Amino acid sequence: MSAMQAKGKIHFNKHHIMFFHNVAKETDKKRRAYNGAKLKCKAMGLLYGIQHPSSFLVTHDGHSRLFTSPLDVHKFLKEIQEKAKRDTGH
């Protein structure tokens, strides 16, 4: 555990301070490409996260899937939504 993790939340002048590992510009760009998927996962109530260096993990119905393409994540989320519509008859 790093000193940063051991310290817990850090506040300065009533602002929460967050620290991130320094990543290459290209890795950051790849991670930001998942921003839309993050919003969609959040709206759908799914667990999600970025896996180092730039893969996207989604957990649905107790199963986790790892993606290396934002397009593939969106296809998967669309499949989940379509299945839910079929299951509920909408």
CATH code for position 55: 3.30.250.20
Query: One-letter amino acid identity for 82?
Result: E
Tell me the sheet residues that pair with 63: 60
Query: Quick check: is 62 in a domain?
Result: yes
| Total tally of structural domains belonging to the chain | 1
Q: How many residues does the chain have?
A: 90
Query: Quick check: is 12 in a domain?
Result: no
pTM: 0.72
Query: Quick check: is 21 in a domain?
Result: no
Query: Quick check: is 16 in a domain?
Result: no
Could you give the count of Cα atoms lying within 13 Å of 15 in the half-sphere of its Cβ?
Answer: 5
Q: Which DSSP letter does residue 59 get?
A: E
**pLDDT tens by residue, the chain, 90 residues:** 455 555 667 888 888 887 777 789 999 999 999 999 999 999 999 999 999 889 999 999 999 999 999 999 999 999 999 999 999 876
Query: Structural domain of residue 47, as residue ranges?
Result: 35-90
Q: Are 70 and 36 in contact (CB under 8 A)?
A: yes
Query: Quick check: is 90 in a domain?
Result: yes
